[in-house]
Chains A and B, each alone.
Chain A
Amino acid sequence: MVLAHFPAMLFFSFLVSVVFGVLGKNTLRERIVYGAWVFVAFVGVALALGWMMYPVP
């Protein structure tokens, strides 16, 4: 299986977020909110770091 970097990062973030959401909170609503927040944080930080490193040779 060949995945480009971005889809691989998205899948990774999604699966980790699901597990973090299930393990980290106790109610369904809390789990969904926390899982979504972790996913957005993963993707956002990865994109921000990518842009910050863009000028670095």
Chain B
Amino acid sequence: MANKVAQETISDRAQPKLATLIWLCVAAWMVPGLGHMLLGKKWRALILFSAIVIMFLMGIAMQGELFSTGTDSYLQTLGFFGEMCVGLAMPVARFFGYAGGNPLFVSADYGTAYLVAAGMLNALTVLDTYDIAMGRKP
């Protein structure tokens, strides 16, 4: 009963404009948690930002590999798109001199996994922002 009432309350909300949705999703992609912050979910935004940025920074600290598209390997191309999902963090890391990791470093494999996972988690965050904006989630 309570779920039904909550569902009706959610679906009664006005649908946002397309431009607003696109802006929210781009913001959520660029900075982890920013989409939630703009929607007024401050604690959720803070937790998501902290978890994803910590994961990315640990990946950098463990010399994880930053993939590029200039290879014949489909897996590396997928890895590039996975890491791109983390938003501005990747170009910022490159700006501060991170050259893409050292594959011979002892923790490099874990570092790469951390970097790709940070991107994938941010992709989920973008989808969650979209759902909240559409009124599908509280």
Bound Cα distance A33, B138 (Å): 18
Q: Is A43 an interface residue (CB 8 A)?
A: no
- Minimal beta-carbon separation of A16 from chain B (angstroms): 6
Q: In the complex, are the beta carbons of A15 and B110 less than 8 A apart?
A: no
Q: In the complex, are the beta carbons of A11 and B117 less than 8 A apart?
A: no
Q: Is A56 an interface residue (CB 8 A)?
A: no
Q: In the complex, are the beta carbons of A22 and B47 less than 8 A apart?
A: yes
Q: Is B54 an interface residue (CB 8 A)?
A: yes
Q: In the complex, are the beta carbons of B138 and A19 less than 8 A apart?
A: no
Q: Is B88 an interface residue (CB 8 A)?
A: no
Per the 8 Å Cβ criterion, residues 47-102 of B in contact with A are 47-48, 51-52, 54-55, 58, 61-62
Q: In the complex, are the beta carbons of B128 and A15 less than 8 A apart?
A: no
**Among A8, A18, A22, A26, which residue has its beta carbon within 8 angstroms of that of B110?**
A8
Q: How many residues of B contact A (CB 8 A)?
A: 22
Q: Is A2 an interface residue (CB 8 A)?
A: yes
Tell whether A3 pairs with B54 under 8 Å between CB atoms, given A19-B48, A19-B124, A23-B128: no
Looking across the interface, which residue of chain B has its beta carbon closest to that of A7? B110
Q: In the complex, are the beta carbons of B114 and A12 less than 8 A apart?
A: yes
**Among A1, A15, A26, which residue has its beta carbon within 8 angstroms of that of B55?**
A15
In the complex, which residues of chain A have a beta carbon less than 8 angstroms from the beta carbon of B44? 22
Q: In the complex, are the beta carbons of B138 and A12 less than 8 A apart?
A: no
The interface of chain A, by Cβ under 8 A from chain B, is 1-3, 5, 8, 11-12, 15-16, 18-19, 22-23, 26
A-B contact pairs, 17 of them (CB 8 A): A1-B58, A1-B62, A5-B110, A12-B55, A12-B113, A12-B114, A12-B117, A15-B52, A15-B54, A15-B55, A15-B121, A16-B55, A16-B121, A18-B47, A19-B48, A23-B125, A26-B138
Known: A5-B110, A18-B47. 16 other contacts (CB 8 A): A1-B61, A1-B62, A1-B107, A3-B62, A3-B107, A3-B110, A8-B62, A8-B110, A11-B58, A12-B114, A15-B51, A15-B52, A22-B44, A22-B47, A23-B124, A23-B128
